[in-house]
Every structure is written in C-alpha cells, then in structure tokens.
C-alpha cells in the first residue's frame, strides 16, 4: 500500500514536470549594461512559433549559468539569436527597427 502511494506521488510529479516543460519555460531576462535588457519569451518561441526546445538547447544555448554573451555583431554573423533571426526564418537582428522586439526597458522598482 505504501509503495503504491509513493509510486502515485512520483507519477504525479513526473506528469507535472512534463506539463511545465511543454509550456515552454517562461520568460528569461538578460540584463545588459547601458541598454535595455533582452527579454526572451519561451511562449513566443515554443508556443506560438512551434519551436522545439532542442532547436536551441543545447546546440545554440546551454543553461543560464553557462551561457556565453554574444553581442549584436556576432548575432549579425548568425550566432546565438541570429541563427534564426536572419530576416528569412524570423525578423532580422541586423536592423535597428527591430530592437524593441527583444530589448525591453526594465520595470520600475517599487
């Protein structure tokens, strides 16, 4: 009886973690010095654009702690976000008219 209870709890936890993974992982903010932070939306990429997690993880990106900063010049050369945001597959990072799509001013601290 006790084993069934623990098995049930384990299965519920696994189901919940799968549901969270399928939802996309939330928003990730990358603070930058002197310019508005970059806000990455998992919902936009995984949900709306129907990308798979493996499209970026772990070829383009590692985890948040191990990430390597890539500047705009690197992105224009197809690194990081620029591998998709090239003006063909997704909007281009090479033009200033798209800056606000990723760079978001921080919310005021209260």
| Mean pLDDT for all residues in the chain | 80
Q: Enumerate residues 6+ apart whose C-beta is below 8 A from 24.
A: 42, 43, 45, 46, 47
Backbone angles phi, psi at 73, to 5 degrees: -65, -40
Element (H, E) at 100: none
Helix intervals (H) in 24-107: 42, 53-56, 72-76
Q: Which residue has the higher pLDDT, 15 or 59?
A: 59
Q: Per-residue pLDDT tens for 38-77?
A: 999 999 999 889 998 888 888 787 776 777 788 999 999 9
User: Cα–Cα–Cα angle for 93, 31, 46, nearest 5°?
Assistant: 55
pTM, two decimals, is 0.68
Domains of the chain listed by start with CATH number: 26-104 (3.90.10.10)
DSSP 57: B
Q: Which residue has the higher pLDDT, 100 or 61?
A: 100
% residues pLDDT > 70 (the chain): 74
Q: What pLDDT is stored for residue 82 in this prediction?
A: 94
Q: What pLDDT is stored for residue 2 in this prediction?
A: 65
């Amino acid at each position: 009886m006790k084993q069934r209870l623990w098995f049930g709890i384990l299965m519920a936890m696994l189901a919940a973690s799968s549901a969270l993974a399928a939802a996309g992982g939330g928003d990730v903010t990358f603070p930058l010095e002197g310019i508005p932070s970059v806000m990455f939306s998992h919902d936009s990429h995984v949900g709306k654009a129907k990308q798979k997690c493996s499209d970026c993880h772990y070829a383009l990106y590692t985890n948040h702690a191990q990430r390597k900063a890539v500047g705009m010049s690197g992105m224009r050369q197809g690194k990081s976000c620029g591998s998709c945001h090239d003006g063909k597959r997704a909007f281009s990072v090479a033009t200033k008219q798209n800056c606000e799509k990723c760079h978001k001013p921080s919310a005021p601290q209260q």
